[in-house]
Amino acid sequence: MFNEKSILITGGTGSFGKKCVETILSQYPNVERLVVFSRDELKQFEMAQQFPADRYPQIRYFIGDVRDKDRLVRAMKDIDIVIHAAALKQVPAAEYNPFECIQTNIIGAQNVIEACLDSDVKKVVALSTDKAAGPINLYGATKLCSDKLFVAANNMRGKQDIKFSVVRYGNVMGSRGSVIPFFLERRHQGVLPITDERMTRFSISLEDGVTLVLKAFDIMWGGEVFVPKLPSYRITDVAKAIAPEARLEIVGIRPGEKLHEEMITATDAINTLEFDDYFVMLPSIQFWNVKAFAEHYSGARCADGFFYDSGTNTEWLAVEQLRKLIREHIDPSFRVS
């Protein structure tokens, strides 16, 4: 799928971007060009040490910001495929600097769309977040806007051969600022602060997130929001997995935070198809035959009243499973003392 193609990744020096570059290079050795587009020259320098030019001549590093449409257009010259991963993601920072978040996550998204339309790009997948479903904070609201922009971009293409879709998933295990690295740092202090004993989260590894995005390129028809089926975990089980002897200190839910992650609301589910490993939220304006799409990939309409959140999930990670995942994806030396 990616062999002999040129690919651009916005936010390419982030956790997702680096893992995506690594995966594409290993699975598609004949990729024509892989452009890492980001605004941080230090991270690009560090990434170039990980992927040196003499071994990976396909990689290009392009300094730029998604707020700058002209720079995006220049970067997309002769690009076939775009993965849009750039975003401002920290919830408290977004609340304190709302318009900065809007400029990157909404205006930047529209700039990416228009730059793709002005170039010869064929396929675009944008990354979303669980916080875009029924958003209660500004970050989630901006990502919902971004999702809507990328879906609606299929209305703007006319006869142009280009497709836009979205991939939405929840907490990436071990991502910066997430609970597991925080607990690992605090476990020897004997006390772990948790927001609420009832709190749950979906769990996905960085590798699985990349795999889903690459799969979306293979099966997309344009305008879908892909949502993977994921296991959940309880925050109290994470604490037990990391520091079973530690005392739990309840500190209360932070502003803009939910008890349970939500990826498909009951209203969204009306226009959602269920498949073996994932869901597909359909565009409100149908660009193609939904029945043919469902039959082609063996999907079915979600049941009336269905919704998908981490608190009512049917698959849960037990304490030992969490420990195994921590060793696999975060710290291979992790052991419970």
For the chain, the first-to-last Cα distance in angstroms comes to 46
Paired tokens of 239:
């604490």
Catalytic member of 89, 123, 131, 258: 131
170 backbone φψ class: left, alpha, beta (φ>0; ψ -120 to 50):
beta
Q: Among 102, 154, 104, which residue's Cα sits nearest to residue 125?
A: 154
- Whole-angstrom distance, CA of residue 218 vs CA of residue 14: 23
CA distance 223 to 155: 9
Q: How many residues are given for the chain?
A: 337
Strand 191-194 to 272-274 pairing: unpaired
Write out the E strands in the chain.
Answer: 6-10, 33-38, 59-63, 81-84, 123-127, 163-167, 191-194, 200-202, 225-228, 232-234, 247-250, 262-264, 272-274, 278-281, 300-301, 308-309
**C-alpha–C-alpha distance, residues 108 and 86, integer Å:** 9
Could you please report the per-residue DSSP string of 138-194?
HHHHHHHHHHHHHHHHHHH-TT---EEEEE---PBTT-TT-HHHHHHHHGGGSEEEE
Q: CA neighbours within 13 Å on the CB side: how many for 267? A: 3
* 143 has catalytic annotation: no
Instruction: List residues with catalytic annotation.
Output: 131
